[in-house]
Chain A
Amino acid sequence: DIQMTQSPASLSASLGETVTIECLASEDIYDILAWYQQKPGKSPQLLIYDASSLHTGVPSRFSGSGSGTQYSLKINSLQPEDFASYYCQNGLSALWTFGGGTKLELK
């Protein structure tokens, strides 16, 4: 199975800051990568798919990039509602795996 290593596990940032979360796959996943946001007590919500395509309704301050085995999620100008947990997910060859998650906290 493909392993997804996400970093950092936790991140402290201030309102208005820009942060980047990384996801490293154990092999080439050909941009078959999605990012989700999860708030406490809620189900995950899709942010980005195909590594860089923004899901409908997601603010443009969220962006995804990367290729091969290395991918990242960037959040520009952090807003109060952005403090949550984030997960990457790959779906290559119908073997879905998630990264371990990144908890973004307000500094």
Chain B
Amino acid sequence: QVQLKESGPGLVQPSQTLSLTCTVSGFSLTSYNVHWVRQPTGKGLEWMGVIWTGGSTDYNSALKSRLSISRDTSKSQVFLKMNSLQTEDIATYYCARSGSPGYYFDYWGQGVMVTVSS
């Protein structure tokens, strides 16, 4: 059974770093790509970045300078780190998988809400 589950602190102070973990089961990170997508409350979806099956990454150009995605295949975990958080980063953060090759997201995590506040 394919599952993705995001975890991490729900509250981050302004200018600090957000660290989230996506723990997957039912598939291998070396066979499927994992993406991060975020959604401000009441707004649309924004693709953030991807870690490919081979371990390389690509990022949304608007976030590239602040964003890092990595993984631990032995633990089936993908990590997101984004620095210099501001109020505009308040959103629900999702991880989702796509096939290799493939571009569409056939499974998503439940999402984790992140607030930025002191």
Contacts and interface: CB of A to CB of B under 8 A. Distances in A.
Contact of A55 (B103, B106, B109): B106
A96 B44 CA distance: 14
B103 to A, nearest CB: 3
Interface in B61-101: 61, 94, 96, 98
B108 A98 contact: no
A18 to B, nearest CB: 24
Contact of B50 (A89, A94, A101): A94
A4 to B, nearest CB: 10
Nearest to A48: B104
Given A1-B61, A43-B94, A43-B111, A98 B105 contact: no
Q: Per DSSP, are chain B's interface residues mostly helix, strand or loop, or mixed?
A: strand
A101 B106 CA distance: 18
Contacts of B103: 32, 34, 49, 90-92, 94, 96
B104 A49 contact: yes
Interface residues on A, range: 20 to 34
Interface of B: 35, 44-47, 50, 58, 61, 94, 96, 98, 103-106, 108-111
Given A49-B103, A96-B103, A98-B47, 20 more contacts: A1-B61, A32-B103, A34-B103, A34-B105, A36-B45, A43-B96, A43-B110, A44-B94, A44-B96, A45-B108, A46-B104, A55-B106, A89-B105, A90-B103, A92-B103, A94-B50, A94-B58, A94-B103, A98-B46, A101-B44
